[in-house]
């Protein structure tokens, strides 16, 4: 967590944008002097200041995009993930060369800045910003990657990414070579060992491929097992006649019960009939056992009769002749079905006659649209607008999806504005339908700024758009039309 006395903000000075981290303590660590003097690759250039007991660092983020913002408008591919890992490993090696502590390198997405053209990353180095270790920060980064990864890609890429994520969680990785998690081994060796290198690399690649394929198969099996939900099958109570073997067992039980009762009664009432001398106590026990067997059988029969009422969904014919009570029960069941059918019909009629809530609320049901109309008379120089690769002749930008990115970089912008003053990802238009159909504009770290009605927006600042507003991308003006 960030310390309470640390303030983070953005500033614009002399056509440059800065991430400012301000603290109440002076920065005397040798690492800052090392970084400031050498300006190593993959670390943001900075300068330090001290004013009225406040100490701060200005990190130059001009013409770069915050990683967390960049992937709000597009999905990650496996190549993007590998590029991030390569950049982090290069940064770790440079940090070791300059004796820097990698736990002080901020690799959370909001502190990583990207050159959108080259995909090169630069990092913030700060010793007191938070207490995350490198491993904890890497977990946060990969959770962000999983959230923004394009899961519509091939299954193999998704499985591989989750395997890598598991390695990050348990710490099974080499920070100097994160690509090893993907089965890629990159090592520098002397030129004299080319022959042995080729042989060992082939062996390593084959072994790595075998291991990777085995992991893929085992992971696929585990995924398939997890995808099969353990749902209890629906139990339908039916009145189908039981199998003949069950009936035989019941008949035998009835016969035994009858024999026990009859023999016990004979022994008690007419002792001389039975040739054997059976004590009276055994006669009572036999009679009790027989009565108990008959009673349990009768209860089971009643229970099965009750289950018929529960299973109204199935009309299963009976094989046993019904008595008067059974006929009454069937008549009640038929009457109950008839009432249920009448209720269903009346419910359908009510549903058919129900009016939609939207019919009574036309204003809410009506969705507004936003257009940006280019002001030609204020243009200086040649400005061309392209929408999905086709040049826009009427110079009117019709918004058809949100968020809507405007900029000069065709790979990440929904509307490409070819002008020298427009940044690659200049600003973004948002539509918040659940807030009374409101529209907002956000500056995306534009070098020459985004202006709304003459007022410049701060870096990543959002402001609401209204009909008739003047939106300027540097020196290019648009009239906002919301209808």
First CA to last CA across the chain, in angstroms? Answer: 44
The DSSP string of 94-159 is HHHHTT--GGGEE-SGGGEEEETTTTEEEEEE-SSS----HHHHHHHHHHHHHHHB-TTS-HHHHH
Q: Which residue has the higher pLDDT, 124 or 5?
A: 124
For residues 386 and 411, the answer to whether their CB atoms sit within 8 Å is no
Residue 134 pairs with which residues in a beta bridge?
none
> Among 377, 378, 379, 401, which Cα is nearest to 388's?
401
**Please, which pLDDT band fits residue 143 given cuts at 50, 70 and 90?**
very high
Burial (CB < 10 A; 0-12, 13-18, 19+), residue 459, is buried
Share of the chain above pLDDT 90, in %: 40
77 pLDDT above the threshold of 50? yes
- Rounded to an integer, what distance in angstroms lies between the CA atom of residue 82 and that of residue 76? 10
Dist CA 409 CA 422 (whole Å):
9
Spatial distance between the Cα atoms of 477 and 436, rounded to a whole number of angstroms: 26
Cβ pair 237, 316 in contact under 8 A: no
Q: Which of helix, strand or coil describes residue 174? A: coil
Is pLDDT larger for residue 183 or for residue 89? 89
How far apart are the C-alpha atoms of 147 and 131, rounded to whole Å? 24
Which of the two residues, 421 and 338, has the higher pLDDT score? 421
Of residues 252 and 58, the one with the higher pLDDT is 58
Q: What is the DSSP letter of 190?
A: -
pLDDT for 388: 81
pLDDT at residue number 275: 63
> pLDDT: is 203 or 86 the higher one?
86
Asked if residue 13 lies in contact with residue 91, where contact means CB atoms within 8 angstroms, the answer is no
How far is 480 from 146, CA to CA, in rounded Å?
A: 36
Kindly report which listed range (145-154, 248-257, 313-322, 411-420) carries the lowest average pLDDT score.
Answer: 313-322
pLDDT at residue 228 greater than cutoff 70: no
Q: What is the pLDDT of the chain when averaged over all its residues?
A: 77
* Residue predicted with more confidence, 24 or 342: 24
The band of 293, judged by pLDDT with boundaries at 50, 70 and 90, is: confident
The confidence score (pLDDT) of residue 327 equals 65
Does residue 390 sit in helix, strand or coil?
A: strand
pLDDT tens track for 455-481: 999 988 999 999 999 999 998 999 999
Answer whether residue 368 shows pLDDT above 70: yes
User: What's the confidence (pLDDT) of residue 206?
Assistant: 46
From 101-105, 127-131, 147-151, 330-334, the region with the lowest mean pLDDT? 330-334
CB 480 within 8 A of CB 466: yes
Most confident range (mean pLDDT) of 98-102, 225-229, 360-364 is 98-102
DSSP 276: S
Spatial separation of the C-alpha atoms in residues 402 and 415, rounded to whole Å: 12
pLDDT for res 169:
94
pLDDT digits (tens, 9 = 90+) for 253-268: 777 777 777 777 777 7
| Residue 479: predicted pLDDT | 95
Give the pLDDT mean for 27-31: 86
Q: Which of 336-340, 349-353, 360-364, 402-406 has the highest mean pLDDT?
A: 402-406
The reported pLDDT for the residue numbered 222 is 47
């Amino acid at each position: 967590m960030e310390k309470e006395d640390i303030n983070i903000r953005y500033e614009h000075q002399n056509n440059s944008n800065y991430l400012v981290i301000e603290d109440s303590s002076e920065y005397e660590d040798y690492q800052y002097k090392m970084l400031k003097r050498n300006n190593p690759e993959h670390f943001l250039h900075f300068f330090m200041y001290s004013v009225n007991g406040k100490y701060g660092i200005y990190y130059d983020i001009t013409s770069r995009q915050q990683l967390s913002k960049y992937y709000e408008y597009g999905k990650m591919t496996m190549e993007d993930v590998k590029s991030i890992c390569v950049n982090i490993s290069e940064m770790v090696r440079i940090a070791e060369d300059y004796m820097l502590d990698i736990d002080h390198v901020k690799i959370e997405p909001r502190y990583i800045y990207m050159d959108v053209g080259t995909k090169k990353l630069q990092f913030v180095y700060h010793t007191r910003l938070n207490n995350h270790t490198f491993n904890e920060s890497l977990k946060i980064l990969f959770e962000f990657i999983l959230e923004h990864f394009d899961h519509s890609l091939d299954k193999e890429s998704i499985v591989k990414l989750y395997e890598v994520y598991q390695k990050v969680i348990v710490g099974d990785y080499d920070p100097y070579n994160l690509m090893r998690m993907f089965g890629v081994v990159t090592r520098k060796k002397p030129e004299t060992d080319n022959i042995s290198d080729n042989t060992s690399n082939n062996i390593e690649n084959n072994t790595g491929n075998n291991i990777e394929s085995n992991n893929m198969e085992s992971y696929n099996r585990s995924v398939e097992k997890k995808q099969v939900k353990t749902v209890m099958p629906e139990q339908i109570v039916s009145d189908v006649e039981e199998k003949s073997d069950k009936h035989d067992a019941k008949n035998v039980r009835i016969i035994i019960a009858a024999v026990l009762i009859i023999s016990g009664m004979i022994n008690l009432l007419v002792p001389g009939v039975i040739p054997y001398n059976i004590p009276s106590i055994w006669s009572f026990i036999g009679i009790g056992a027989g009565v108990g067997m008959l009673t349990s059988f009768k209860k089971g029969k009643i229970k099965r009769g009750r289950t018929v009422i529960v299973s109204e969904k199935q009309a299963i014919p009976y094989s046993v002749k019904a008595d008067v009570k059974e006929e009454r029960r069937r008549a009640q069941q038929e009457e109950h079905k008839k009432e249920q059918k009448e209720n269903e019909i009346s419910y359908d009629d009510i549903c058919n006659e129900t009016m939609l809530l939207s019919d009574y609320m036309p204003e809410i049901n009506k969705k507004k649209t936003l257009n940006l109309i280019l002001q030609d008379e204020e243009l200086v120089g040649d400005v061309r607008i392209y929408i999905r690769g086709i040049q826009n002749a009427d110079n009117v930008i019709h918004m058809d999806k949100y968020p809507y990115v405007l900029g000069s970089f065709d790979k990440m912008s929904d509307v490409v504005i070819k002008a020298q003053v427009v940044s690659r990802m200049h600003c973004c238009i948002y539509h918040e339908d659940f807030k009374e159909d409101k529209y907002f504009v956000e500056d995306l770290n534009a070098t020459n700024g985004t202006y709304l009605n003459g007022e410049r927006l701060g870096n990543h600042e959002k402001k609401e758009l209204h009909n008739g507003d003047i939106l300027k991308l540097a020196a290019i003006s648009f009239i906002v039309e919301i209808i």
